[in-house]
Structure 1
């Protein structure tokens, strides 16, 4: 464990230090660390011992052996021999006392009559060896201490020896069973104020993941981290072994871990061994009444057996039942148990559960009957468990149970006793709800192939829903049209199709078509009873369309009413869809960003409780990320993105969150991360619509410009103008701006000739957007006008930059509280003023404002460009007297220098000040090493420093005195 960092033990280390300080007042002190094997006791002995040695204490380090009383005072003898080997220089008196003690041990017979004299001699000899220094006796594996060693400890800690003494010892808790003599001794010692017995608990989940990341060299994927936590139980030694296996690509269980747990099992009494085996086979937690039926022991004997297993740190007991402390025990026993033994235990569990409130145990019942080799009895239990999970909105569990039922139905013993097509349909729907869209589509194809009599319309509806969720919007629209044209399409199905089609068109950005379809769906729903879902979907789509195209207030009210209706009737997908449209409307067309972010995050919590965490929660979090990005809260957006990606989304959900994260990466200047996300989105977007394709191409153009690849930016924009049809004027205006900016950048860099045809097409597109915006709702028109101001400014850069056009853009974006485009516009306004060689004072002020804003955002490429322009114009970007590198600068008030840093950047700086590398900081904060590098660059820019030492000095200078 020496190669890995010591994590999760800060408070414990402080408790040990504070206790051992008592030796400085002439009182003997002691800390006894107890805990299970591998929990880190020996590591703590070394850490604390090393600190005390560095502080000037004399260390005597030894370990007890598992050989009873055959070697009196063995750990002390071992410690003295080690000291003798190390003691090359020192007082003659101390060396003489050391040799005298060693010789005394050789001559001593260990008879009981001379025990008191022996202890006194040892104490006196240690006093001479210490020579007035604090003496620290460090003892490992004290559970095997011989009688003489225990007597010596009691003698010394009772204050009978003339020593400035501290004892630091480690004890395996699982060894202190029954009437173990050390157990009684520790009970007595606890009464002394200067003695503490501290139990080392396993690491918590966060510390476990931190340690595993340090060993593996990178943060573990969510699924791997979850499995490691369950298998290790937080035991540091086990965590390290498992993390190394993951790092090196080894499967299975290492021989080291297997032998450790087998050894611990072997010392159990037979009944306790049987209890552990039974719990290992069961579904945790295993209730006491259930365990009694499985192991078939009288209650008194069962309780004794459980106590033994708990005492040996193999089981954990709680009110709800018993659990294995480490799931690895189950893996070890899987190989130890004979197949016939496993089957017998599963059958006992199933039989015990069959008559005991079976409705509460269907999942376990299915599990045990299946592993007992009884598929006929397991199948109905699996189906019941799936239906119960769906009722509780546990769609992941439902999918697992339906998949199990489908597998059980394949058994020859089941035959035709169950409708396999029905199982396929139910499994497909559960897969769709939990985000397994590809599996849902594959199962639906099996349904179509297995039963030709199934309704063509019904199959098309479901296929279209699954395609839309998978991000294949174009194919989904075709499938909905096919469903409408089906001969067997009923009025109810027509209403359903039209409502879903309206929602799809909304996601495609075709708001006029969505409104038309929504009105049609509402008319159809009026003729069908029980069409609440159709009304909710259509109302949300209609409200969004009206808010974008006609009346924002009226449209918003319609969407809010749709949400109220969905909440009243409680169908999860309806609630999620209504929240989605409300959050999108607020953060998009209405530009009410703060409220939209709040609604998105509140909706994410709500739909997570409804079991739709991987799908709709991810989408809502993506909306929150975009809103936070636009208002300049990039650090918070980064945290939300990390939360969303823990769900491992797929399909359209993955596209949404990857695009949102990519905006951050482009802004930060993390080229590699942005490129990776864009490639992933491009793969997932095959068959997608304008809602995803246009932002994808816009981001591709923006990234290419920061790389100086203006030709690639030009191609991306031209593709966006020709390939996608959308009523979303905002994303179209953003795309046009990027196109004109690419031409202006090419002109400014002289690396590429301006494409006059492209400029003409882009200006024509901007004019079309301006005309269409004239009839759009006021908030939409307002944002479009701001983008058109950027477009006008970029055109002027080609023709001869006009500072007044850029001043207008600054005003437009400032009014909307969008810091990034406002900062960019200030840079261009200053550049235009400098090009005209006039009003340089105003240009300098604009550059300084832009510089501070870009630093606050963490926009590295934009900050670098501002610095370049300022350098050419010889503009000082920081106020005189406050530059970090200026030796004549005044020292700001406490904390003032750090005010420019975000909360995340302060966390990174604090870790940097500890001397951690970027990789180590990333492991501590659970973000990538590359992202840490970006943060460090931001910190250097904001604090105006060049080295980590300078940045750390500023942190220390700004800390309160009591924190230094």
Structure 2
């Protein structure tokens, strides 16, 4: 029997896991025998119907689903309309002889009883779920029937689910009163469905466009839709995944959907709401009365606003101001005015706000921002410039940094047309640079710095030029434009050396040390301690932070790890004091480098704490995002993929900026390919490539290793080899994830060799390539920093992996032992993805070499399968399941022995029953010993006792006896 007539297909429900779980719990409660009611409320387009549809699709197949919906009829009133549609197709699905109630006539009191009795009769036979969609359009007769049903017995398996559009619930109306009444009934819940957040909006857009979108497009959509799923769909209709911004204007379908309720207002209410929309912010009735003037009758402003509130278009705030329920309504209304009307109303708003300030009172930031915006839109540049300067100061003081940055950019643009303005362009750009730095707008800060450097005479202002060049180096790295250009940082040191006792010189020296480390330039050690001494002498916290971290780098490379950790930790403290969050991220990474490898849970936890501190400090999200993205990469490396996914969500919860975005994309690509979503991985990698040009040169990022992983997992070994070698042979020190590069190159050759052998093609060239690879790189690459024992174990495991993959190229006999050692090494190194992969290769070779009955084959198979299942590593899990089926190796988990065992096999000790559980699951002596933490000799002794007590001939018979199947001895153990 079909559970629901609704189509359960369509796009995947995005961002509603918690909501779906709550609704599913209601349905499960009904199926368990209890009456339940839930009303799902939310704005139009938020996804109420889709949520209910998906929940109903997961109901048990024997449940009777009755789905009906109300309609927005205007000229006729059809009693019980929603119930008619619910019962119309019930005849084909009901059980018993009692037919569905006939609802063809007028509303009658006895109909309530008939419907209730019929539902009760059906619920005695199976659970019943009655769904009424769009209750806000339901007629009074339907509401009365539902009230009667909801007030009925609570011990019948009958559930009622309704959806309500919040904007349609009028205060004092019939539905408003009905909802108030049913809230007092038992077993009644109201579930408010809110909009999607930014990460879920990105997920929906990825689904709609077929690939993850650009962050700039996500920003455009989320700003306009505020996370409404239906508006998201309409906004991107006709776009491709490569679109970077929304086109200008409104798509026709979107405008129609947004303004549907507005068109039902009176002419006066429509005009007044357009004026409110043009105001750009919440306004009181008195302000609107002053602005509207003769366009609206003074006594009519309040009634017209009340009409807009009742229509669900406008909300009345507690402070008595009015603004639109959804921001896109204001945008649509504003676009409906012609240019002349806009200038007229903008000038009117500006005049009203100016009159409010006639008493000389200092304006608040919101009023100043509005004045700047209105004068600019009214075509009065001098007034717009004056107020933009004032508003930028007030916005900065209030922490509204995005407003301040926007207004400062406007002053720069307006200043060009105002020759008499007092402020110099350079001063404006300097203010813009400072605001961009505070808000984390790296691209805008970099633009301002480039303009300022072009204005500066370096001979006259060497210190200013020096510190701007250092900051430019940081921003070029963070926006993917350059990786520590040595010529620039040396020039910054030269310029600042003209005044050598200044903090600017200490900063330049410290960052020369930092850049030299990445370029393997010698001679930086002495400069680090010179920079540290000078920074301490100047007392500048920013310079001191960078100098402490530079000294930490030097100490780390000299293997003075305790000193390095302490210096970097102090650098992080000074960075917070200076509110230089680039320095904080920099110092945090080096604190971790001195303690644990980034491929450790401890490192991930360190970054988690650092991210929390950045959030507490109110740091721009670009820096929070960068830390969160690296945190995600660390959690992924150690197999904590759920924590990885949570950290990625934080990274992308707001605009991450290019620095966090590229890191998050790379980790998302790696997670996707490890779990078998190869198309998703390729798209994330492509987006990362777009963000950072010439990306192989960014040694702190993982482009080449992840690119090689994605290619090899997708069956493109030639491309994987090229990517791995690009990373392994690039200039400078080994890049992040360098340990993976050579094993991936060898794996790519091995996959090609295996393919050639399968097709009967020659492998001579591949064997030569493997020999050349081994001669050029006798061992794997590893980082020069860090000393942790865990990292040493990880490097040793990668060495074994490299050797095992080279052996696979050559098809060496006895390779199974090498893969077994590799799996054990990765287990000790706490790298579960690689351990699972090595287990798979070990099992393949053990079975290929005829070890079907080998305990080692069974142990590695079950071990790898357990890991792959926990990691949701689908490709490895599927491969191991196929091997298990082919070799007939049992993989069922060890479960508790049935309670009837004591009666069936009396006289067993508790330890013997424990061991019997493992025997039933087909485990080897070694697996039993490790599972119970006893020796294999002890296991053998217990099994001998079990055979003697039960009379079983061998372990197979023993397992059959324990499971109740009876003995079938064949004499084999």
- TM-score, normalisation: structure 1: 0.68
Kept after mapping to 2: 8 A contact 1:39/1:202: yes
SS in 2 for 1:316: strand
Structure 1 residues 80 and 818: alpha-carbon distance in aligned structure 2, compared to 1, 3 A threshold: closer
The equivalent of 1:375 in structure 2 is 381
Instruction: Note if 1:204 corresponds to 2:218.
Output: no
More helix by share: 1
The equivalent of 1:344 in structure 2 is 347
Instruction: Note if 1:859 corresponds to 2:859.
Output: no
C-alpha deviation, 1:334, in angstroms: 1.8
Structure 1 residues 383 and 721: alpha-carbon distance in aligned structure 2, compared to 1, 3 A threshold: same
Pairing partner for 1:276 from 273, 284, 293: 273
The equivalent of 2:249 in structure 1 is 252
For CA contacts below 8 A with separation 6 or more, give which structure has more relative contact order. 1
Kept after mapping to 1: 8 A contact 2:170/2:176: no
Aligned residues: 843
Q: How does 1:1-40 map to 2 (within 5 A)?
A: none
C-alpha deviation, 1:550, in angstroms: 0.9
The equivalent of 2:963 in structure 1 is none
Kept after mapping to 2: 8 A contact 1:203/1:236: no
C-alpha deviation, 1:582, in angstroms: 2.7
C-alpha deviation, 1:536, in angstroms: 0.9
Structure 1 residues 814 and 432: alpha-carbon distance in aligned structure 2, compared to 1, 3 A threshold: same
SS in 1 for 2:564: helix
2-side partners of 1:47 and 1:858: how far apart? Answer: 24
Q: How does 1:233-252 map to 2 (within 5 A)?
A: 242=235, 244=237, 252=249
Pairing partner for 1:533 from 542, 552, 557: 542
2-side partners of 1:740 and 1:49: how far apart? Answer: 50
Q: CA RMSD in A?
A: 6.3
Kept after mapping to 2: 8 A contact 1:4/1:211: no
1-side partners of 2:55 and 2:671: how far apart? Answer: 43
The equivalent of 1:494 in structure 2 is 505
2-side partners of 1:713 and 1:60: how far apart? Answer: 55
C-alpha deviation, 1:185, in angstroms: 8.8
Structure 1 residues 578 and 82: alpha-carbon distance in aligned structure 2, compared to 1, 3 A threshold: closer
SS in 1 for 2:639: coil
1-side partners of 2:624 and 2:166: how far apart? Answer: 44
2-side partners of 1:421 and 1:565: how far apart? Answer: 30
Structure 1 residues 293 and 742: alpha-carbon distance in aligned structure 2, compared to 1, 3 A threshold: same
The equivalent of 2:573 in structure 1 is 564
SS in 2 for 1:546: helix
SS in 1 for 2:316: strand
Kept after mapping to 2: 8 A contact 1:346/1:368: yes
The equivalent of 2:939 in structure 1 is none
Instruction: Note if 1:420 corresponds to 2:425.
Output: yes
Q: How does 1:331-730 map to 2 (within 5 A)?
A: 331-337=331-337, 338-348=341-351, 350-351=353-354, 354=357, 357-361=362-366, 362-387=368-393, 396-410=402-416, 412-413=417-418, 415-428=420-433, 430-431=435-436, 437-450=442-455, 455=461, 457-458=465-466, 460-474=469-483, 476-486=485-495, 489-491=498-500, 492=502, 493-506=504-517, 508=518, 510=520, 515-527=525-537, 529-588=538-597, 593-608=600-615, 610=617, 612-645=619-652, 647=654, 649=656, 651-682=658-689, 686=693, 692=699, 695-707=702-714, 709-726=716-733
Runs of at least 5 residues in structure 1 that lack an aligned partner in the other structure: 89-93, 106-118, 160-165, 883-891, 898-964
Map Cα deviations across residues 185-233 of structure 1 (whole Å, 9 max, x no partner). 969x959988999999774336995988887788877666666566567
SS in 2 for 1:205: coil
The equivalent of 1:759 in structure 2 is 771
Kept after mapping to 2: 8 A contact 1:383/1:401: yes
Kept after mapping to 1: 8 A contact 2:489/2:508: yes
Kept after mapping to 2: 8 A contact 1:844/1:875: no
The equivalent of 2:315 in structure 1 is 316
1-side partners of 2:311 and 2:572: how far apart? Answer: 55
The equivalent of 1:924 in structure 2 is none
SS in 2 for 1:692: coil
1-side partners of 2:73 and 2:872: how far apart? Answer: 58
1-side partners of 2:840 and 2:82: how far apart? Answer: 72
Kept after mapping to 2: 8 A contact 1:35/1:172: yes
Runs of at least 5 residues in structure 2 that lack an aligned partner in the other structure: 1-5, 93-97, 122-129, 152-158, 758-762, 896-915, 922-973
Structure 1 residues 245 and 560: alpha-carbon distance in aligned structure 2, compared to 1, 3 A threshold: same
Structure 1 residues 244 and 707: alpha-carbon distance in aligned structure 2, compared to 1, 3 A threshold: closer
Structure 1 residues 385 and 783: alpha-carbon distance in aligned structure 2, compared to 1, 3 A threshold: farther
Mean alpha-carbon deviation: is it higher for 290-299 or for 606-615? 290-299
C-alpha deviation, 1:315, in angstroms: 1.6
The equivalent of 1:901 in structure 2 is none
Structure 1 residues 461 and 302: alpha-carbon distance in aligned structure 2, compared to 1, 3 A threshold: same
SS in 2 for 1:724: coil
Mean alpha-carbon deviation: is it higher for 702-711 or for 464-473? 702-711
Map Cα deviations across residues 417-443 of structure 1 (whole Å, 9 max, x no partner). 321123334435555665655554444
C-alpha deviation, 1:827, in angstroms: 4.8
Structure 1 residues 30 and 407: alpha-carbon distance in aligned structure 2, compared to 1, 3 A threshold: same
Kept after mapping to 2: 8 A contact 1:395/1:611: no
2-side partners of 1:554 and 1:55: how far apart? Answer: 67
The equivalent of 1:959 in structure 2 is none
Structure 1 residues 560 and 64: alpha-carbon distance in aligned structure 2, compared to 1, 3 A threshold: closer
SS in 1 for 2:485: helix
C-alpha deviation, 1:282, in angstroms: 2.9
Kept after mapping to 2: 8 A contact 1:563/1:578: yes
